[in-house]
């Protein structure tokens, strides 16, 4: 037998074997593993695209604005203060931080600074004279230390440049009034500050719109305002600005160290949508300057709203 004969004899192979062979087609099926690198690459790109923008955003260091300048602040009694007053001398331009308390939804903060004529600081308990007050107002006592301890521009700046400003709103200033002196006049020059929120009540709206300098086009039924009433016996009292954080409002007030008749000042801060503030958490911070050279900027004060 030779090869040619063998090939001829192959015709004797079973039919099914031949038919199967001549019709054989072995097409390689697409295997999933072939697509694995592409799928993996797509996943990696997708994950990277999702994560990378977040990685690029650097979270700002959030330091809460100072709730109060507490470093030198202690609570002392009036008696103690009277003893101290003998030893403490004059006060220069000072910045005082006052606490606040709420009575019947209103927050009243007050601070008493010594009269220009007196050399010693004095803290007095102040009766609440507001119509909103139903009970005796809280006692606000603040130790007044040397001005050099309390007043520091650098300290003030350092505590205000910590978070990202989201927006700022203009403060509306209402009319200044010089009410009749109360039956229990302030024995010492004082600054008192009250905070409360406007209510969408028409009677109230009509009453406060002019008093607080709220523009006519501002819809008080839709948007809330933080209302501020400032009672001062100091000359040139003005709001210099403020910061509104989740911890509440800190209002910066400046005045000249010269006594004047009691004046009622009214301010309104329109609260942007989504911003809430609790009057209990509102504070006023005062800066008293001796002369015009130390007068801070009081024109167009803004309330900076922080997140």
Partner 1 sequence: MLNNRDEQALEESAQMYGALCRSVARNILGSDEDAEECLNDALLTVWNAIPPAKPSNFSAYLLKLVRNAAFDRYKARRREKRGGGQTAQALDELTEIFPSSENVEQELEQRELMQAVTGFLQSLPEKQRSLFICRYWQSAAIAELSARFDMSESNVKVTLARIRKRLQKYLREEGLL
State the distance between the two ends of the chain, measured CA to CA, in whole angstroms: 98
Please give the residues from 6 up to 25 whose contact with partner 1 meets the rule CB under 8 A.
6-25
Nearer to partner 1, 30 or 53 (CB): 30
Report, in Å, the least distance between residue 4 CB and partner 1: 5
- Inter-residue contact 67 to 159 (CB < 8 Å): no
Answer yes or no whether residue 28 interacts with partner 1 by CB under 8 A.
yes
Short-list 281, 287, 268, 157, CA closest to 213: 268
CB closer to partner 1 out of 27 and 299: 27
The C-alpha atoms of residue 170 and residue 101 are separated, in whole angstroms, by 25
Q: Give me the phi and psi of 3, to 5 degrees please.
A: -65, -40
User: What's the closest the beta carbon of residue 5 comes to partner 1, in angstroms?
Assistant: 6
By rule CB under 8 A, what count of residues binds partner 1?
Answer: 28
**C-beta of 38: minimal distance to partner 1 in Å?**
21
Q: Could you say which residues in the range 132-151 bind partner 1, by CB under 8 A?
A: none
| Residue 30 lies near partner 1 (rule: CB under 8 A) | no
Residue 54 CB, shortest distance to partner 1, in Å, is 47
What sign for the dihedral angle of Cα 86, 87, 93, 95?
negative
CA atoms within 13 A on the CB side of 268: 22
- Tell me if 34 contacts partner 1 by CB under 8 A: no
**Cβ atoms of 186 and 260 closer than 8 Å:** no
Contact 94, 147 (CB under 8 A): yes
157 binds partner 1 (CB under 8 A): no
We find the least distance from the C-beta atom of residue 36 to partner 1, in angstroms, to be: 20
The residue among 21 and 38 lying less far from partner 1, judged by its C-beta, is 21
Is residue 31 at the binding interface for partner 1, with CB under 8 A as the rule? no
Spatial distance between the Cα atoms of 111 and 113, rounded to a whole number of angstroms: 6
43-102 positions binding partner 1, by CB under 8 A: none
The structure tokens listed for 91 are 């006060």
Give me the residues that bind partner 1 (CB under 8 A), please: 1-28
């Amino acid at each position: 037998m030779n090869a040619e004969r063998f090939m001829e004899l192959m015709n004797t192979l079973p039919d099914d074997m031949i038919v199967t062979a001549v019709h054989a087609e072995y097409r390689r099926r697409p295997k999933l593993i072939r697509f694995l690198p592409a799928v993996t690459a797509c996943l990696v790109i997708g994950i990277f695209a999702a994560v990378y923008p977040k990685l690029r955003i650097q979270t700002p260091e959030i330091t809460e604005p100072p709730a109060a300048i507490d470093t030198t602040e202690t609570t002392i009694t009036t008696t103690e203060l009277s003893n101290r007053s003998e030893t403490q001398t004059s006060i220069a331009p000072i910045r005082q931080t006052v606490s606040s308390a709420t009575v019947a939804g209103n927050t009243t903060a007050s601070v008493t600074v010594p009269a220009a004529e007196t050399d010693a600081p004095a803290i007095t308990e102040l009766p609440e004279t507001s119509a909103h007050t139903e009970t005796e107002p809280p006692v606000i006592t603040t130790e007044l230390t040397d001005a050099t301890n309390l007043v520091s521009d650098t300290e003030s700046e350092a505590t205000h440049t910590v978070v990202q400003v989201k927006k700022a709103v203009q403060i509306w200033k209402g009319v200044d009034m010089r009410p009749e002196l109360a039956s229990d006049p302030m024995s010492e020059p004082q600054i008192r500050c009250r905070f409360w929120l406007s209510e969408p009540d028409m009677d109230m709206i009509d009453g406060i719109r002019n008093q607080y300098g709220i523009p006519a086009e501002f819809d008080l039924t839709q948007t809330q305002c933080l209302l501020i009433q400032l009672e001062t016996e100091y000359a040139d009292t003005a709001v210099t600005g403020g910061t509104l954080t989740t911890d509440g409002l800190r209002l910066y007030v400046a005045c000249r160290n010269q006594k004047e008749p009691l004046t009622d000042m009214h301010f309104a801060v329109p609260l942007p949508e989504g911003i809430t503030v609790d009057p209990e958490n509102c504070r006023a911070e005062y800066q008293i300057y001796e002369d015009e050279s130390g007068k801070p900027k009081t024109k167009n004060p803004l309330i900076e709203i922080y997140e």
